[in-house]
């Protein structure tokens, strides 16, 4: 056999060997088990691989019913001060799931509650008749007068514009606008 044929066979074996090694490394990196380093320590998958090279379905679109996971939005709490002159601010804008905290900074007790006075039934599920029951904690109604310095918080889980008032002074009213 000539030297050029032997050299060609060696090159072919080297190419096949490196190609096989490359294929083996790529297939091993897609297995869920941890790979081992040469010193025996496990390599942990940190989840930072953006896409798998040979799986075109790895990225999902909204059209096939699967959606990529989004980080949930952080819930917010807005504070409304209740002064002798009324609610400050009188209207607030929040997102569904956010909360509003009413703080009495006035000299008289106040009772924030859903409109309409005196039934408090505008916000879904709310009703003054539920005050003092097991359902009282889930309604847009403080169910009592708040003294100076006291506060009450309600989480809005229904989108819409919700009027409210001070049950002890119905001339003081406000609005919570809840967006999706």
- 31's CB contacts (< 8 A; 6+ apart) are none
CA dist., res. 56 & res. 130, Å (int): 55
CA dist., res. 145 & res. 108, Å (int): 9
- 22's CB contacts (< 8 A; 6+ apart) are none
Q: What is the count of structural domains for the chain?
A: 2
CA dist., res. 178 & res. 174, Å (int): 13
Angle at 149 between CA 147 and CA 152, to 5 degrees: 75
Give the structural domain span for 127: 77-179
Prediction pTM value:
0.61
- Give me the residues paired with residue 91 across strands: 175
Task: Provide the b/e sequence for 54-68 (b: ≥16 CB within 10 Å).
Answer: eeeeeeeeeeeeeee
Q: What is the pLDDT of residue 44?
A: 38
Q: What is the pLDDT of residue 17?
A: 64
Q: What is the pLDDT of residue 71?
A: 66
Residues 23 and 94 in one domain: no
- Determine what percent of the chain is predicted with pLDDT higher than 70: 67
Give me the CATH number covering residue 175.
2.60.40.420
Is residue 96 assigned to a domain?
A: yes
Is residue 103 assigned to a domain?
A: yes
Is residue 11 assigned to a domain?
A: yes
Is residue 158 assigned to a domain?
A: yes
Q: What is the pLDDT of residue 38?
A: 42
Is residue 19 assigned to a domain?
A: yes
Q: Which string of DSSP letters, residue by residue, matches 41-77?
A: PEEPP-S-----TT-TTSS--GGGT-----PPPPP-E
Is residue 152 assigned to a domain?
A: yes
Residuewise pLDDT in 10s, the chain (180 residues): 788 788 777 776 766 665 555 444 544 434 333 333 344 443 333 443 333 333 334 333 444 445 556 666 799 999 999 999 999 999 999 999 999 999 999 999 999 999 999 999 999 999 999 999 999 999 999 999 999 999 999 999 999 999 999 999 999 999 999 999
């Amino acid at each position: 056999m000539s030297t050029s044929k032997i050299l060609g066979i060696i090159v072919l074996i080297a190419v096949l060997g490196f190609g096989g090694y490359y294929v083996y490394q790529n297939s091993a990196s897609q297995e869920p088990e941890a790979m081992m380093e040469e010193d025996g320590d496990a390599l942990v998958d940190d989840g930072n691989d953006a896409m798998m090279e040979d799986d075109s379905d790895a990225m999902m679109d909204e059209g096939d019913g699967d959606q990529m996971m989004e980080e949930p939005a952080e819930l917010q709490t807005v504070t409304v001060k209740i002064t002798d002159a009324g609610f400050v601010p009188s209207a607030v804008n929040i997102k569904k799931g956010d909360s509003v905290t009413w703080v009495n900074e006035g000299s008289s007790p106040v009772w924030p509650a859903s409109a309409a006075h005196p039934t408090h039934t505008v916000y879904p599920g709310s009703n003054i008749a539920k005050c003092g029951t097991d359902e009282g904690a889930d309604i847009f109604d403080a169910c009592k007068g708040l003294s100076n310095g006291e506060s009450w918080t309600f989480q809005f889980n229904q989108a819409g514009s919700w009027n409210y008032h001070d049950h002890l002074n119905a001339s003081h009213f406000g609005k919570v606008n809840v967006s999706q």
